[in-house]
Amino acid sequence: MTNAAQIQPTLPAERPVIEPFFLPREQTKHVLGDMGETTYWDYVNQGLLPVVYAGRKVLNPYPAVKALAARIAAGELAAPRGLPDHATAKSIASRRLNPPKRRKRRSRRAVVQSELTA
């Protein structure tokens, strides 16, 4: 018989970490700090985050997501402004002074009780 002290437990060999090739859009937004749709698409439109389409599904290459996450963590990137590239200071000021009018709701015709019984 062998003593319990003589038995050496064998540990399984460590497995290498397998990185994915692509991340879905929702997971990419989570990895980059739970960003919203507007910020995500601003990074895509600026060319900082490449996009691959698989049917209707939007995927991002994992190495590009890691690189962008490192740049955001280092503070190299300012938050996107969220304004279109073609917006000028004049058009923005005009929008503030003259906001678009809200659409009016159509009024519903009142139903008279006598119409219901007729």
Per-residue pLDDT in tens (0 to 9) along the chain, 118 residues = 556 566 666 767 788 888 899 999 999 999 998 888 988 998 999 999 999 999 999 999 999 999 999 998 888 886 555 555 556 666 667 777 777 777 777 766 666 666 566 5
* Domain ranges, ordered by start, for the chain: 22-82
Distance of CA 113 to the CA centre of its chain: 52
- Report the distance separating Cα 112 and Cα 105, nearest Å: 21
Q: What is the pTM of this model?
A: 0.55
**Long-range contacts (CB closer than 8 Å, 24 or more residues apart) made by 96-102:** none
Cβ partners under 8 Å of residue 59, min gap 6: 22, 23, 24, 25, 51, 52, 53
3-state secondary structure of 60: strand
